Chains A and B, each alone.
Chain A
C-alpha cells in the first residue's frame, strides 16, 4: 500500500477544508460523509427494532393467552385486530414482519450499515469510503425499502403473512393467504433493499482493498474489519440469488408465471433452494460482524492481544466458504432427495468447527488478562456465552434424524434467537456502547448501562431458554393457539412464563433508550436524572411482580428490595453525555487516534501510518498497557505482525 496511492485516496475531502460549511440538508440528510451515513443507518435500525420488538410481544401475548384482548390495543381497527384480539391472519403477518424487520431492517442496517460505514474508513486510516455518493444512495435506497415494507401494512389484505421464509406456493398465489399487495410490496421492498446492500458491498470491498493507510497490511486489520470485508463479499454473491427468487415469486403472483406452481409445471421446492442458498450465507452475514466486534472488545478490555489472530481470520473465511454448501440443512424434511440430507449433514457438522475454534480463541483471550468489566465488555461476554449455547443447540439440528423431530418446532426458534439475539443483538449493544464516544463525542452512562445489561441478560435467557423445552415437547412454530392441541396443553405454562419474560425483556430496553438519548443530548436536569434512576429501579424491581403477579405480597416485597438496591447502585451515576476524549478506552485501533467525533476527512493534514497489529495490549515494548497501531516508537522500525 504505497503512500502515493493512499494520498491520492480522497483528495477532494482535504480540499474541502477551505469551503463554506454545508447546510443542514447536506450535513444531516443528504450527507456523503461515511460517519453521518453510519449514524443514519443506526437510527433506521433502532427505530425498526422498536417496531419489530413490538410485533414479537404481540405474538407472545397470543401464545400465552390465546384469543384474549391485548391491553392497550383496543384502538387498532378491524380487520387487523378485533377489540384488541389478534385474529389468525394478522398473527401470521405479525411473526412474518417481526422476522423480516429484525433481519433486514435492524441487524443488517446496524451491524453492516452503521458499523461498516462508520468504522471501515476510520479503522483503516482512510478519509472516507471509495464512493461517497454511492454510499449516500445506499442509505436512502435502504430507507425507501423500509418505507415500502411498512406501507405493506396499510394495503388491503394486510402485510405479508407467509413467514419471513415466504415458502411457495403459499406465498406465490394471493388466494392461499388472502394477502395481495402486502406480499408484493414485501418482495419489492426486499429487492430494493438488496440493491442498497449491493451498493454498500461494492463500497466496502473497494475501500478495504484500496484505501488502507501506509503500513496497514491485511493482517494488521482489526478483526471487525475482516468480518465486514467477508460479509460484504457474502452479500455481493448471495443477494442476487434472493433478488432473482423474489422476482420469480412476484411474477408468479402478478404475471401468471409458474416458477413455483405445480399446476403450471413449476416446482415449489425451487423456492426453498433459492431462498436458502441466500438464506444460509445471510445468517452468517448476521453473526460475523458481531464476532469481529466481540474480538476487538474482548481484547481491549482484557488488555491482551486477541488469542490466535490469524486463526480467527481464517476461521471467518472458512465459515464464509462453507456457508455456501450447507443450505440444505433447512430442507432435510422438505421432500428433497434424502441422499442430500446426508451430504448437507456432513457439511453442516463441518461448519460448526470454525465457530468452535473462535469460541476457544475468545476464551484464550481472557486467560491471563487483566479484565475490566465495562459495559461493552459485559455485552461482549454475553455475546460469547449466548453464542455458545446457540451454536451447541445447532448440533441437534445438524443431525438429520433428530431434525426430523425438532424441525419447525420451538427448538429452532430457541436456536435462532440465541444466535441472532444472544449473538447479534448483544453484539449490537456492545458496539453501540463501545463506539458511542466516537460516534457522538459523548460517553454513555456506565452505571445505567450495567443495569440494562443485567436485566436484559436475565430476561433474555428466561425468554428463550425454555423454548428448547417447548421444542423437545413437539411444540410447532407459527401456530396461533397452542391450546388447540391436546399434546401441547402440558406445555402451556411454559408459554406463559416465556411471554412474561419477553415482556420484561421489552421493558428493560427502555433503560437503554433513556441512556442512549440522554447521553446523546446531555440531559442532566435533576428531575430527569432522578427519573432515570426511578425508571431503572422500577423495571428491575418489576421482575418478581411480573412472574408472581400483582396480587402477590412476596412479589411486592421483592420489588421493594430490588428497587432499593438498584436505586442505591445508581446513586453515584455519572452525568449523562460527558464529553468524550479521543481514546476513552485506551484502545489501539486507528479510530481512537481521531477526534471524538472525527471531523470531515477524519484525520488532519496527514493520514496515520501503521506500525503494528491492532491488539498490542500489555506489550513489553512500552510501560502503558496499550500500544496504538499508529504510534511511532523511537528507534524502532515498523515490525511485521
Chain B
C-alpha cells in the first residue's frame, strides 16, 4: 500500500515515511494476529449439532487483562516518543531560511510574493506571481502563510508538508527540497465552491536554473550573480 506514497523529495521526508512504515508493519502484524485468532476461534468453537459440547464457563482472566493492557500501552508510548522528535523538527524547530516567500491564499488561488534581491518584503522590488512558487534545490525555504478570506491549506505531498493557512495570522512553514522538479500545490482545506482545482505549482530549480529565474525576474544592472534572497 505504501508504494502509493508520492516521491519523497524532502529533507524530513524520510523520517515521516519511516514512521509511516513502522506503524504500517506494526498495525499490519496486529491485524493479521487478531484476524487469525478471530477466524480460528470461529471455526474451532462453532456450534456443531450433536457434539454435546458446552461452552467454557469463564468470566475472564485478570492476568490476560493486565498483559493486553500493558503491552499496547508500551508500544504506543514508544511510538509517541519516536513521533515527537520528527514533529518538533518539522513544526517547532524552524531552521534559518535561505529563501523566503510570502504565500497569500484566497478564494481560489495562491499569490506568491517574492521579496526580491533586497530580501525585504514591502519594498519596491517585491514581485507577485500567482500560483508559482520558485525555490532553489537543497536550500531551506520559509513560506509565510496568510489568507485573505477563509482557511485554506498549503499542501506539498512530495515534501511531506501540510499547513493550514488561517486568516488573521501569519504562519511560517519550512521545507528543503532535495531534488529539482515541478510539483503541485493543492489547497487541502475546503474553502468554498472553487476549492477543487485551487492549485499552484512548486518549481524546485537547480542552482543554475534558479539563478536564471532570479535574473529573469529581477534584471540585475551590475551584479553578476545575485545572491538568493535572505529573510
Contacts and interface: CB of A to CB of B under 8 A. Distances in A.
A308 B19 contact: no
A334 B166 contact: yes
B161 to A, nearest CB: 7
B180 interface: no
Closest 7 CB pairs of A and B: A262-B168, A368-B56, A480-B196, A308-B60, A474-B157, A338-B91, A89-B193
Interface string A462-506: 000000110011101111110011110001000000000000000
Contacts of A23: none
Nearest to A393: B27
B57 A333 contact: no
B23 A399 contact: yes
Interface string B68-92: 1100110011011001101110111
B79 A408 contact: no
Given A352-B72, A401-B87, A369 B16 contact: no
B168 A178 contact: no
Nearest to B37: A363
Contacts of A405: 16, 20, 157, 160, 162
B150 interface: yes
Nearest to A349: B76
A335 B31 contact: no
B164 interface: yes
Interface in A165-194: 167-170, 176-178
Interface residues of B: mostly helix, strand, loop or mixed? mixed
Contact of B92 (A87, A338, A478): A338
B83 A370 contact: no
Contacts of B1: 468-469, 472
A408 B68 CA distance: 32
B184 interface: yes
20 contacts: A88-B195, A262-B169, A268-B168, A269-B166, A302-B55, A308-B64, A333-B163, A333-B164, A338-B88, A338-B92, A342-B87, A353-B73, A359-B34, A366-B42, A368-B56, A369-B55, A385-B34, A400-B87, A401-B16, A477-B190
Interface in A435-469: 468-469
Given A262-B168, A311-B60, A469-B1, A381 B42 contact: yes
B45 A371 contact: yes
A84 B78 CA distance: 52
Contacts of B86: 400-401
Query: Max chain B CB contacts within 10 Å: which of A87, A357, A360, A372?
Result: A360
Interface string B20-37: 100110110011001101
A373 B46 contact: yes
B41 A484 contact: no
B47 interface: yes
Contacts of B104: none
Contacts of A263: 168
B166 to A, nearest CB: 4
Contact of A335 (B59, B166, B190): B166
B135 interface: no
Contacts of B191: 170
Contact of A169 (B23, B90, B150): B150
A605 interface: no
A304 interface: yes
A376 to B, nearest CB: 15
A487 B54 contact: no
Given A169-B151, A178-B193, A349 B80 contact: yes
Interface stretch (B2-10, B109-117, B122-130, B223-231): B2-10
Contacts of B168: 262-263, 266-268
A408 B189 contact: yes
B150 A170 contact: yes
Contacts of A5: none
B79 A395 contact: yes
Contact of A345 (B53, B83, B151): B83
Contact of A366 (B41, B165, B169): B41
B179 interface: no
B176 interface: no
Contacts of A472: 1-2, 4-5
Query: Max chain B CB contacts within 10 Å: which of A267, A368, A385, A405?
Result: A405
Interface stretch (A43-51, A126-134, A228-236, A618-626): A618-626
Given A345-B87, A399-B19, A472-B2, 4 more contacts: A353-B73, A357-B72, A360-B68, A402-B19
Nearest to A491: B4
Contacts of A162: 190
Nearest to B28: A392
B194 interface: yes
B178 interface: no
A170 B190 contact: yes
Contacts of B151: 167-170, 268
B101 to A, nearest CB: 18
A368 B162 contact: no
A476 B188 CA distance: 6
Interface in B129-183: 149-151, 153, 155, 157, 160-169, 171, 183
A479 B59 contact: no
B184 A487 contact: yes
B118 interface: no
A402 B166 contact: no
Given A92-B190, A363-B34, A404 B54 contact: no
